[in-house]
Amino acid sequence: MPDPTGPTVAELGEFPVIDRATAGRRQPATTLVGPGHDAALVAASDGRVAVSTDMLVEGRHFRLDWSSPQQVGRKAAAQNGADVAALGARPTAFVVALGCPPGTPVAVLEGISAGLGEAAEEMGAGVVGGDLVQADQVIVSVTVLGDLEGRAPLLRTAARPGDVLALAGTLGRSAAGLALLLAGHGGHPDLVEAHRVPAPPYAAGPAAARAGARAGTDISDGLLADLGHIAAASAVAIDVESALLGPGDDLRAAAADLDADPWEWVLTGGEDHALAACFPPEVALPEGWHRIGSVRAGAGITVDGRDHAGPGGWQSFSR
Amino acid sequence: MPDPTGPTVAELGEFPVIDRATAGRRQPATTLVGPGHDAALVAASDGRVAVSTDMLVEGRHFRLDWSSPQQVGRKAAAQNGADVAALGARPTAFVVALGCPPGTPVAVLEGISAGLGEAAEEMGAGVVGGDLVQADQVIVSVTVLGDLEGRAPLLRTAARPGDVLALAGTLGRSAAGLALLLAGHGGHPDLVEAHRVPAPPYAAGPAAARAGARAGTDISDGLLADLGHIAAASAVAIDVESALLGPGDDLRAAAADLDADPWEWVLTGGEDHALAACFPPEVALPEGWHRIGSVRAGAGITVDGRDHAGPGGWQSFSR
């Protein structure tokens, strides 16, 4: 937790807090007009802009006793960056609206802003604008812009029977980390870190679009749930081959410690923000992608040809 | 208030709520890929995109016993649309992240979504994406994209001594409406409506940029506060001439009813989302704009050459 003895947002006031939270921010060349105006202006090189938005809520999507504010900011950037990567685009800019109680230490907002800024910079993107308002809990609402650089977008509606289902990135590590935190288990720091700060394979989205992939999505609700969105939108069936995505040794070890099933983490755990895409069979998979299944005529998701029994994935309003 | 006997968000579940809230949405030709994918894709005709974000919080920026959900959605669209208009851009697309408690009637979210969609459509823009999450209060976080269509952006940093200060739109009507609501006064429905649903002069922003205005802003925190941002960013002084912006008869009548000062509403009331811009002296003001003052060498804001005593405008963390 940041220093609770520092000033609160109400003590410092809106504009000084914004000044402190945005001090030292660097902008890439694509930021044509940065913060400090009513709106920002960002380059959209091919005359189109990809856009996606996600809201993170304290106590629901993050806990400030489990994650540092920087980690929360990085997570918000990762979650949004993965969405435009899933379309095949490169993130170019973020805007962030922050809500918080007046007694929130300024250091919390500085940390969130710093984490978001660092993660954006690593993607080559800028944090170009924002808003700061009073709310009952800490709310981080991020919108990302992306540039397809002339590529065709990967759509959930575009999978066809015969396509190869491929994955870039990891599955189940964030879910394992969350389970470890919930259990108060002190081990497996790499898995806990994967929960606190996901590391989506941003470059794999543009690479898939360049190679000729048709359909894509990021795995944010769980593999089976997100593939279910593609299957429904494309009116196809998708089969996942378990032999191609077995849990790694560290997931198995953590599952053994917690008496849990590592397959549940792999198949239904969200928040790693891996990318899944459907490639025409004649396409050679680009670097970072490996086959995990196939697209068939029909409907629904199967694992090794059978329905999966168990929870389907993340739901925003589950209890 | 919407029907409290209808289903709640938790009863219906995330995806059916999204389906209901987005049913029947129309998209303009600039929406190249609409909702239903990880990200949307929007045309950016001149290779640049304007972007701005604002968060509205229940109990802070709106009350559902004072405004219908539709009005809240329209207000969120107006507030964001005015920000890109202030830059000189035309709104092209909105994304909206909604947070709400699980017991929120689905009708509230449908109403907010409908109001946002109607307002966007009136601007020629689409609502191209969103997010729905659980939160302790209703949160409406909107990001708008805009198209400058080749025009130079109006910046807060660009005012110069000798410029003409001009206004498009109204001042103080939203503040008057809020005062009437707070006092429980049943009259002056036009002013109350101005508070519930501001009507910014969207087209005036692009018109000003086309005519050659240099600096611009929307009046969201109050005239003096927002001009103060331009004066500080441009290192100039700005003088407002009271004779050019006197309160109208309806503001004076409401002020008399409430024993209030209509000038406070005009000078420090935010949320009408009028636009202010600084034009070089040789420029003929375009339709919808009228002169209200002048830009001079120096620093700070004056009214008729004198400092204004009184509150400066909206602060996000005032008590």
pLDDT band at A317, cuts 50/70/90? low
Contact status, residue B204 vs residue B169, Cβ threshold 8 Å: yes
Report the SS3 class of residue B315.
coil
Contact status, residue A225 vs residue A218, Cβ threshold 8 Å: no
Please compute the mean of the pLDDT values over residues A233-248 and round it to a whole number: 94
Burial code (b: 16+ CB inside 10 Å, e: under 16) for A131-167 equals: bbbbbbbbbbbbbbbbbbeebebbbbebbbeebbbbb
Architecture of the CATH domain A164-303: Alpha-Beta Complex (3.90)
Please compute the mean of the pLDDT values over residues A165-192 and round it to a whole number: 95
- Average pLDDT in chain A: 93
Helical H segments across chain A, by residue range: 9-12, 14-22, 69-87, 106-123, 173-183, 189-196, 204-211, 223-234, 249-258, 262-268
Q: How far is A89 from chain B (nearest CA, A)?
A: 9
Q: What is the pLDDT of residue B17?
A: 87
Which residues are CB-contacts of B284 (< 8 A; sequence separation ≥ 6)? Answer: B211
Amino acid identity, residue A225?
A
Judged by a CB distance cut-off of 8 A, whether residue B130 touches chain A is: yes
- Which residues share a beta bridge with B142? B54, B96
Amino acid identity, residue B50?
A
What is the DSSP code (8-state) at residue A199?
-
Which residues are CB-contacts of B98 (< 8 A; sequence separation ≥ 6)? Answer: A55, B109, B112, B113, B130, B131, B132, B133, B138, B139, B140, B141
> In chain A, which residues have their Cβ closer than 8 Å to the Cβ of B97?
53-55, 141, 143
Please compute the mean of the pLDDT values over residues A220-230 and round it to a whole number: 94
> Which parts of chain B are beta strand (E)?
31-33, 40-43, 48-57, 90-100, 126-134, 139-147, 164-168, 215-219, 237-240, 274-279, 290-296, 300-303
Please compute the mean of the pLDDT values over residues B285-295 and round it to a whole number: 97
Please compute the mean of the pLDDT values over residues B76-88 and round it to a whole number: 97
- Which residues share a beta bridge with A130? A96
Tokens of B291: 């002169």
Q: What is the pLDDT of residue B2?
A: 54
Amino acid identity, residue B65?
D
Q: In what order do the strands lie in the sheet with B48-57?
A: A31-33, A40-43, B48-57, B139-147, B90-100, B126-134
Q: How many CB atoms lie within 10 A of CB A228?
A: 19
Which residues are CB-contacts of A155 (< 8 A; sequence separation ≥ 6)? Answer: A87, A214, A215, A216, A233, B33, B37
- Give ranges for CATH 3.90.650.10 in chain A: 164-303
Q: What is the pLDDT of residue B319?
A: 41
Assess whether pLDDT exceeds 70 at residue B51: yes
Q: How far is CA B159 from CA A221, B218, B245, B305, in A?
A: 48, 14, 20, 18
Judged by a CB distance cut-off of 8 A, whether residue A38 touches chain B is: yes
**Model pTM greater than 0.90?**
yes
- Residue with the bigger pLDDT between B25 and B233: it is B233
Assess whether pLDDT exceeds 50 at residue A237: yes
Distance CA A294, CA A285 (A): 13
Assess whether pLDDT exceeds 50 at residue A160: yes
Residue B81 φ then ψ, to 5°: -60, -40
Distance CA B172, CA B168 (A): 13
- Give ranges for CATH 3.30.1330.10 in chain A: 9-147
Q: State what percent of residues in chain A have pLDDT above 90.
A: 87
Q: Which of A174, A147, A168, A163 is nearest to A265 (CA)?
A: A174
Q: How many CB atoms lie within 10 A of CB B157?
A: 15
Judged by a CB distance cut-off of 8 A, whether residue A215 touches chain B is: no
> In chain A, which residues have their Cβ closer than 8 Å to the Cβ of B317?
9-10, 13-14, 102, 134
Q: How far is A90 from chain B (nearest CA, A)?
A: 12
Judged by a CB distance cut-off of 8 A, whether residue B60 touches chain A is: yes
pLDDT tens-digit map of A47-96: 999 999 999 999 999 999 989 999 999 999 999 999 999 999 999 999 99
Distance CA A219, CA A241 (A): 17
Q: Which CATH superfamily is domain A9-147 in?
A: PurM-like, N-terminal domain (3.30.1330.10)
Q: Which of B212, B199, B215 is nearest to B87 (CA)?
A: B215
Q: Do B316 and A14 touch (CB under 8 A)?
A: yes
